[in-house]
Amino acid sequence: MVDTKGCIFNIQRFSIHDGPGIRTTVFFKGCPLQCTWCSNPESQKHLPEWMWDNSKKSKVITGEYFSVDEVIADVQKDIDYYTESGGGVTVTGGEVLAQLPFVINLLKKCKQKGIHTACETSAYSSKKKFLLLLENVDLLIMDIKHYNSDKHREKTGVKLEPIIENLKLAISSGNEMLLRIPIIPGYNDSLADSEQFALLLSSLRIQTVELLPFHQFGKSKYRFLDREYEFMNTPQLSANDLLPHKKIFTSYGIHCKIA
Ligand code: SF4
């Protein structure tokens, strides 16, 4: 029963930051990475779990099993908004590659209904799985956290190499793609780091990158999950803080946006 359903912790309507236009964003539970700055820590574990709900003043279960048809029924409610705004559905997590059969079914059904699809992913998976995702999604939004494999493993728990291999596949597929780099204080936020990222992107002939300034939107969730948060006292970064970084990417001929 459970394997025919997807474990989802949020379906957010009227999203405007997860791809073009007005979108419904479907958040899948479970991620093979354990980024210590993750702003959705409730997405990391694969199964439903207890989390404090401040509005209810009690613990609630986060993560629920849905069928594809149940999700489609929900996302279809806003089909007129997608059409008018050039929007659609975005699948994110957690990591969508961790629940791939369900995600592929959902993406296919969206396509049948003429709904544009996007996915946000770390791209950490086998090539076979990643190719299947590429074949079924309109827009790939991919984050890369570090250019150095040891540093990558240090704060995400996984190697960088499979991600780079899948990035190469995404480039050669010709899919529409947006590559993003979250800029994390003390981890990858020096100008020397941006220089190394720019060198990597240039070697892969990537022409556009988006920088995501570190934020604290997920801070209270760590407390609600009763988990330690390494960045509890780390100030957020602003778009202005990243202007010198943007300059470095631009100097390499890479079009750089700051989110
Ligand atoms: S890849 Fe994304 S969802 Fe997974 S742990 Fe890292 S920040 Fe969180």
The pairing of strands 255-258 and 208-213 is: parallel
Q: From the CA of 9, how far away is ligand 1's center (Å)?
A: 14
What is residue 182's predicted lDDT score, i.e. its pLDDT?
98
Question: Which of 95, 143, 231 most suits a substitution to test ligand 1, by most atoms within 8 Å of the C-beta?
Answer: 95
User: Per-domain residue ranges for the chain?
Assistant: 6-258
Give the pLDDT confidence of 69-106 residue by residue, as tens digits: 999 999 999 999 999 999 999 999 999 999 999 999 99
Report the C-alpha gap between 247 and 254 in whole angstroms: 10
In this predicted model, what pLDDT tens digit does every residue of 110-151 receive, in sequence order? 999 999 999 999 999 999 999 999 999 999 999 999 999 999
Cα(242) to ligand 1 centroid in Å equals 21
Mean pLDDT of 233-237: 98
113 CA to middle of ligand 1, Å?
30
56 and 38 Cβ atoms separated by less than 8 Å: no
What does the pLDDT look like over 26-52, one tens digit per residue? 999 999 999 999 999 999 999 999 999
What residue's CA is closest to ligand 1, atom 6? 35
Q: Is 43 in the pocket of ligand 1 (CB under 6 A)?
A: yes
Find, among 104, 8, 26, the residue nearest to 65 by Cα. 8
What local confidence, expressed as pLDDT, does residue 1 receive? 40
Eight-state DSSP code of residue 51: E
Query: What φ, ψ does residue 67 adopt, rounded to 5°?
Result: -85, 165
Binning pLDDT at 50, 70 and 90, where does residue 4 land? confident
Q: What is the pTM of this model?
A: 0.96
Model confidence band, residue 12 (pLDDT cutoffs 50, 70, 90) = very high
118 close to 18: Cβ distance less than 8 angstroms: yes
Q: What share of the chain is helix, strand, coil (3-state, %, to 5)?
A: 40, 25, 35
Q: Are 106 and 71 contacting, i.e. CB atoms less than 8 angstroms apart? A: yes
**Best residue among 43, 146, 160, 222 to mutate for probing ligand 1, ranked by most atoms within 8 Å of CB:** 43
| Average pLDDT of the residues in 64-68 | 97
Residue type, 233: N
Q: Which atom of ligand 1 is nearest to the CA of 43?
A: 3
Average pLDDT of the chain is 97
Query: Which of the 8 DSSP states describes residue 237?
Result: P
Q: Does residue 44 line the site of ligand 1, with CB under 6 A?
A: yes
Amino acid code (one letter) for 207: Q
Distance 256 CA to ligand 1 centre (A): 22
Q: Evaluate whether 225 touches 60 at the Cβ level (below 8 Å).
A: no
CA 249–ligand 1 middle distance (angstroms): 24
pLDDT band at 2 (very low <50, low <70, confident <90, very high): very low
Give the model confidence (pLDDT) of 142-192 as tens digits. Answer: 999 999 999 999 999 999 999 999 999 999 999 999 999 999 999 999 999
Q: Where are the alpha helices (DSSP H) in the chain?
A: 68-75, 79-85, 100-112, 127-136, 149-156, 161-173, 191-203, 219-224, 243-251
Q: Is 190's C-beta closer than 6 angstroms to any atom of ligand 1?
A: no
As assigned by CATH, the class of the 6-258 domain is alpha beta
